[in-house]
Amino acid sequence: MSTAAENLSALIGCRTVSSRDADGSDPAEFERFRTTFAGLYPRLHADLELTRFGGGLLFCWRGASSERPVVLMAHYDVVPVVPEDWDRDPFSGEIADGAVHGRGALDDKGHLVAVAEAVESLLADGFTPAHDVYLCFGDTEEISGETAEDIANHLAAQGVRPWLVNDEGGAVVQGAFPGVKVPTAMVGVSEKGIVDVVLETTAPGGHASTPARNGATARLARAIVRIDDHPFPARLSAPVVQMLEAIAPHTPPPLRQLLANADRFNRPVAQILAKVGVETAAVVRTTTTTTQLSGSPGANVIASRAWANVNIRIAVGETVASVVERIRSVVADGSVSISVREGMDPSPVSRTDNDACALLSDTITATYPDAAVVPYVQNGATDSRHFAVHTDAVYRFSPFMMSREQRDSIHTANEYLRIEDLERGVAFFRTLLRNHA
């Protein structure tokens, strides 16, 4: 049995659920994770310098030089589960059918274990890195990212400017783009911004037997439908153009010529991608979705207040301010108040013409020889966004092959990571650290 798989199984068993609701998270489970982790990786804890940031862990592995430091990131908190949706106990960490099953297998304990296994084994080999290496393991990624922000600011205050940062993100995927036959290793060079916008309406309440027209819920529903009927325009930002140019050689003509010249044919290419599927549509536009709705507290009570939360993922080139202004324009109803719950702009775009990106790309090729390395804009937010203000070399890549089924399981049910892919992830990080000369 794979040691990495057994260790991942044990760590999945720690129910490190992050929740904004104090009752939805158990601090004892987070402490159990840290204790279990220390027992599984004794060399890492004995030989590296550990600094605690609340529940976050920052390990420093001193290298021969303090120049060109590397930051390897992961997080060990997970999102809540709906147990009845799962085929297995989501916190059993069951090892079956050549995979480790459970919440966090992909997001993000598998990534964390791949890093830890690589470092533990290199320490056992007596290896000393050429440059300082920092391991940043967060505990709040799924709710706020405060821990990672504290760590990023701490390192900046110490004068540490990372030469390379790698966090969770893209993976090696097959069939994500039409006409592309080879696997693509998707490396996030930026990530979309995010904002939660609250729509709220009020009206006189009363008994449901005597309703008035155009009440609070009707006006709220109309606003939601308007937003859904008027999606943000599809367009290609600079990193998306770069992505398409990287894919172009692996597509058949005439698609090859079209993608290779995506910048010249920005609008038609964007419109085509918007129609291919939800993944490609999200690449080319700011997306909106209503995630929460609330109205009356009773089935026979007219709502005096109705509200909805619209979760918006902001494409590169837009801002929180510009997105909210468009939402106001689309809703076009002064009786519907629009307020920002929380939000952040898209992260800066990292360079792809530097030695750090070259090292990452070479390591991917060494681990997955058949894969084309492709830069892209990540749809979800990660802890790495807090490092993007300190360095232009922040990348988001999880070194695993992930099927569409696996990608769809993240934040839903039946999450699993194949043992073979976990082992290749360990090899990826060993190669990355050995080749960083």
Please choose, from the candidates 139, 162, 163, 142, the residue with its C-alpha nearest in 3D space to the C-alpha of residue 150.
139
**Distance between CA atoms of residues 312 and 282, nearest Å:** 11
Pair (312, 424) in one structural domain? no
| Interacting residues of 158 by C-beta distance below 8 A, sequence separation 6+ | none
Residue at which a domain ends, from 298, 324, 344: 344
Contact 16, 34 (CB under 8 A): no
Token duo for residue 274 = 């918007």
**H or E element: which one contains 132?**
strand 131-138
CA distances (Å), origin 219, targets 257, 293, 297, 325: 47, 13, 18, 19
Residue at which a domain ends, from 344, 377, 402: 344
Catalytic residue at 362?
no
Token duo for residue 264 = 């010249």
Total Cβ atoms within 10 A of residue 329: 10
Pair (111, 144) in one structural domain? yes
CATH (domain of 290): 3.30.70.360
CATH (domain of 85): 3.40.630.10
Check residue 255 and give its pLDDT: 87
Pair (43, 182) in one structural domain? yes
| Boundaries of domain holding 335 | 191-344
Pair (151, 10) in one structural domain? yes
Pair (364, 339) in one structural domain? no
Number of domains in the chain: 2
Pair (384, 311) in one structural domain? no
Token duo for residue 34 = 């840290």
Pair (258, 113) in one structural domain? no
Contact 57, 135 (CB under 8 A): yes
Q: Are strands 164-173 and 65-75 parallel, antiparallel or unpaired?
A: parallel
Strand ranges (DSSP E) for 272-418? 287-294, 301-302, 305-314, 337-344, 372-378, 394-401, 416-418
Catalytic residue (one of 94, 120, 132, 141): 141
Pair (178, 201) in one structural domain? no
Residue at which a domain ends, from 307, 325, 344: 344
Q: What is the mean pLDDT of each run of 10 residues along the chain (437 residues)?
A: 93 95 89 98 98 97 97 98 96 98 98 98 98 98 93 97 97 88 96 96 92 94 98 96 95 91 93 88 95 95 96 96 98 97 94 97 98 94 94 98 94 97 98 96
Token duo for residue 309 = 């939360």
Catalytic residue (one of 77, 108, 132, 149): 77
| Eight-class DSSP state of 367 | H
Catalytic residue at 168?
no
Pair (16, 133) in one structural domain? yes
Total Cβ atoms within 10 A of residue 409: 20
- Side-chain-side CA neighbours of 34 within 13 Å: the count stands at 17
Q: Residue 311: beta bridge partners?
A: 196, 289
**Distance between CA atoms of residues 435 and 130, nearest Å:** 9
Torsion of CA 118, 122, 128, 132, to 10 degrees: 10
Pair (200, 161) in one structural domain? no
Q: Is residue 157 exposed (0-12), middle (13-18) or buried (19+ Cβ within 10 Å)?
A: exposed
Please choose, from the candidates 63, 54, 67, 64, the residue with its C-alpha nearest in 3D space to the C-alpha of residue 25.
54
Check residue 1 and give its pLDDT: 61
Pair (297, 403) in one structural domain? no
Pair (89, 125) in one structural domain? yes
